[in-house]
Amino acid sequence: MYGFSRFYKYPLPLLLLSLWLVAVFLLSDQPARSQHTATSNKEKYQSTLIAKRIMPSTLTENVRKTVLENGLTVLTKEVHTAPVVTVQVWYKVGSRNEEPGVNGIAHQLEHMMFKGTKNRPIQFGRLFSALGSDSNAFTSYDQTAYYGTVERNKLKALLVLEADRMQNSQIEPEQLASEKRVVISELQGYENSPEYRLNRAVMQAVFPNHAYGLPVGGTKADVEKFEVEQVQKYYRNFYTPDNAVLVIVGDFQTANTLETIKEVFGKLPRRQGAGGRGQGAGGRGQEAGVISPSLNTQHSTLSTQHSALSTPIILREPGAGRLLQVVYPLPDANQSDVPALDVMDYILTEGRNSRLYQVLVESGLASEVTASVTSLRESGWYEVLVTVGAKQDLKKIDSVLSRAIANVAEKGVTSEEVERAKTQLTADVILSNRDITSQAMRLGTDETTVGDYRYTDRYLAAVRLVKPTDVVAVINKYLTKEARTVGFFEPTQKLITEFGDKPDSAQTTENFSPGAPVLPSEVGKYLPPVDLATDALFAVKDIAQVLPQEFKFTNGLRLLLLPDHSTPTVTLSGHIQAGTEFDPDEQAGLAAFVAENLLSGTDSKDVFTIAKILAERGASLDFEAYREGVRIEGDSLAEDLPILLEILADVVKNSSFPAKELELHRQQTLTDLQQELDEPSEVARRIFVQSIYPKKHPLHTFPTEESLQQIQRQDVIDFKAKHYRPDTTVLALVGDFDLDKVRSLIKNEFGNWEVSGQAATLKYPPVAMPEKIVSVNPVLPGKAQAVTYMGYTGINRYDPRFHSALVLNQILGGDTLSSRLGAEVRDRQGLSYGIYSSFQAGKNSGTFLIEMQTSPEDSTKAIASTRQMLQQIHQQGVTALEVETAKRTLISNYNVSLANPEELTDRILMNEVYGLEKGELHSFTDKIQKVTLEQVNQAARELLHPDKIVVVTAGPSVLAEKSIR
């Protein structure tokens, strides 16, 4: 999928998180949350000490580089903290190797690489799912990567599959035609975003003669013209062992694994003379040679041609909210100025105390300012995005932005700011490398972008040497008014209309003829050998040997602690029963107001002091309100856990909610709401939920402009006093700590948190199923892609059918490539870029949901196909082989997830919130294993209702049979 998340504060090694990526799978939408993570250093040389103490053991220590005779580069790193392993294949080719006319061909080929090979003519997503692999892929500017994380006994199976598709992938006309429709649907989804459209226009102006100015995913016009021969040639030219890097990180033995790699990959031939690695489908491209492994001490001339416009690019199109985007060209990743540029970025835009946040957001001119330094193989850029309300003057804001940057260059930055930025940057690297998938990503990015997997070590060493004068120097050198290109997005009037409830006759009359049914036996036929008998218990034995220790204090606070000394970090998750279910109808948004303003000040600290204290350690603390509670998330280095807990205790007990901060937050929230209601996915979700749950139901209410304006400071104070209580709070910590010391620390911080009265409770009324098919089509002008939500009320977490429903869902739509819906609607017919189903089971209620993205012209057929698949499984059930495959997938995915400290901590937390048994952490897999075919088919009969379903499609008018009213 083409992941839309560019603004993360990470250096080059995590570039894949900050670029416009293209991957096969759909990533779930991430809710907006209060971010109060800043960076600083209380002791002048803390960042140096942190790096010296921690970096060698977490980055490239124990990494071994091997080059096979056929040119394949292999990077291996043993990490024995959990019985899992990640396998990644990185190709040194991306959209950088394209030109107008063939823009998007690297992305198209990435999609085709899942279509099967000569040896295995089967959707590879089904093979990965059967292995229980957490697999994905992406295309970026400089590389294309395929990765999967599995239990360690499936390492060779993944190697066999990756080697097979490196040489034998099939690119057939029928499959290409289908997948081109999928890609076009994907691109239309990005066209829905004003930010995407503005960025595309600005980047084309910045790089008029280089592929960095082209969208990574391509354009519809180019994708429509791709021919089989073009894609095949691109595959032959670039997918060779001597143009690839194989990265393996996890629980394996290096010597044995290298022998396996030589056995599996060593026989693949170099493909010299096939057009050259530097030749793209259209003959354009740069030589894929190795860049010098050292950061240059002298800055060279920028290697690409840049252009700057004297007047802003202005887009006047349907949308909500105004956007200002500024892009400055920068040097490539190997230039010596890159570390100082990253430090500069943190000083300008990271946290409440940053320079641009102060002048733009704190002043009320903007609701958000984000930025990122992108450092690539041939060039780079610094991008600033400012989000403002519809009534703000973009020229004025641009002038304020320019003056603020000029002021920094003129007056300089302080040593404290520089050290703070260096600390946060270093901490980000540490905290983002706690799981093996991320560690491998870092190695792969470094090796394919700059030709040296050790780049991050050298980069961090260079960061530690950055001085205030270096920051001023790069501002004067690169952030000049003459160099920048500016873009404005000015929305035109937006109108949303709806079709009311009506029988969906258009869906039932669609001419839908399903193709050959999914044959689970084909999966086993093409799956590489695996010791399947041990799958269910292989990782559980190692991962769940130790259960978290449970404590309950006299005030009712519950605490779960699980020491893990594998990395010098701590992950904190918490839950408070103060969610949006308690929102009054006329003040919808109140619960989120409280949660997102907890860090805005306490009786003893103002908002900037809190942000600075967290920043001094590079720690993060966030609060997010959702339906059934408030989620607390925190990360820190192990030695800084006392500070993190001190701030947490202070804000939940003593938050003061200053009037100025509340009003600033209200304006930001109103701007965010405008933008949300311009997103088809958000509009579809709102109308879907409100079509299922009637008024006065706790799930029916959503914030509106009117309800947000009704919230007063006293309402916030009263809600906090009523719902934030120790006896409805659960904290879970996993990390490098002494159990007794942390228990004592938490008791000291939270022991005086007093309980007053009884905790508030809610009774969820029963909700009837719809009596017929209900179809609603909210129309959003100017959108290119439709988003559909289908479903009805479902089961809660305590339903005895819960585990059977999980297995059923995995078969139905748990994976967009291997499920029944994915295989039919997405893979065979090419109607949807992503289609998923889920049983969202909460404490008090549940929802059955199917979500899909489609081109407007394909929506009706995709909905009809989906309903017919529901009918087929409802009436005919599923097969025993499907059940066994789904069970193995769920168990393997669960075991892999426990190797990630954030997912492990969250699992421990929610088990306690739901009141599940103490051993649920490892008994979950036993319960899945015991699910029978009969139970799954009974769940299908009882839980799937294709003729009693709510269907909401937001975007262009796609279901209407008459004019818009």
Burial 581-600 (b: 16+ CB within 10 A, else e): bbbeeebbbbbbbbbbbbbb
Residue 796 one-letter amino acid: N
User: Could you give the dihedral angle defined by the CA atoms of residues 652, 658, 659 and 665, in that order, rounded to the nearest 10 degrees?
Assistant: -60
Q: In this structure, is the dihedral angle defined by the CA atoms of residues 732, 737, 739 and 741, taken in order, positive or negative?
A: negative
Over residues 148-162, the mean pLDDT reads: 96
84, 234 in Cβ contact below 8 A? no
Element (H, E) at 299: none
pLDDT digits (tens, 9 = 90+) for 694-739: 999 999 999 999 999 999 999 999 999 999 999 999 999 999 999 9
Closest CA to 330 of 486, 456, 484, 459: 484
Give helix 394-411 / helix 468-478 axis angle, nearest 10°: 140
> Rounded to whole angstroms, how far apart are CA atoms 262 and 259?
5
Please say if the pLDDT value at position 46 is more than 80.
no
Please say if the pLDDT value at position 503 is more than 50.
no
Over residues 44-52, the mean pLDDT reads: 42
Give the pLDDT of residue 390: 75
Over residues 191-216, the mean pLDDT reads: 95
> Rounded to whole angstroms, how far apart are CA atoms 72 and 69?
7
pLDDT digits (tens, 9 = 90+) for 514-525: 444 456 677 888
Closest CA to 94 of 286, 380, 379: 286
Q: Which of the 8 DSSP states describes residue 952?
A: E
pLDDT digits (tens, 9 = 90+) for 538-553: 444 444 467 899 999 9
Average pLDDT, the chain: 86
Contacts of residue 544, defined as CB under 8 A and 6 or more positions apart, other chains included, come to 898, 921, 922
Residue 838 one-letter amino acid: S
Give the pLDDT of residue 11: 45
Over residues 61-72, the mean pLDDT reads: 95
> Rounded to whole angstroms, how far apart are CA atoms 403 and 405?
5
pLDDT digits (tens, 9 = 90+) for 492-501: 865 454 444 4
Distance between terminal CA atoms of the chain?
Answer: 35
Residue positions counted in the chain: 965
Over residues 18-41, the mean pLDDT reads: 35
136 DSSP β-pair partners: 147
801, 927 in Cβ contact below 8 A? no
Which residue in the block uniquely carries the two structure tokens 């096979």? 68
pLDDT digits (tens, 9 = 90+) for 606-629: 999 999 999 989 999 999 999 999
> Rounded to whole angstroms, how far apart are CA atoms 734 and 635?
10
CA angle (629 as vertex; 433, 620 as ends), nearest 5: 30
> Rounded to whole angstroms, how far apart are CA atoms 706 and 778?
20
User: In the sheet where 729-735 sits, what is the strand order?
Assistant: 549-552, 558-563, 729-735, 569-576, 629-637, 620-626
Percent of the chain scored above 90 by pLDDT? 76
Give me the DSSP letters along 671-728.
HHHHHHTTSHHHHHHHHHHHHHSPTTSTTT----HHHHHH--HHHHHHHHHHH--GGG
> Rounded to whole angstroms, how far apart are CA atoms 947 and 940?
14
Give the pLDDT of residue 119: 94
pTM over the 0.85 mark = yes
Give me the DSSP letters along 71-84.
S-EEEEEE--SSSE
| CB half-sphere exposure, 727, CA atoms < 13 A | 12
Over residues 173-180, the mean pLDDT reads: 94
Q: Which residue has the higher pLDDT, 775 or 279?
A: 775
pLDDT digits (tens, 9 = 90+) for 866-880: 999 999 999 999 999
Give the pLDDT of residue 310: 74
450, 291 in Cβ contact below 8 A? yes
Report residue 28's pLDDT band, with 50, 70 and 90 as the boundaries. very low
Please say if the pLDDT value at position 27 is more than 70.
no
Closest CA to 146 of 130, 131, 124: 124
Give the pLDDT of residue 191: 92
Please say if the pLDDT value at position 281 is more than 70.
no
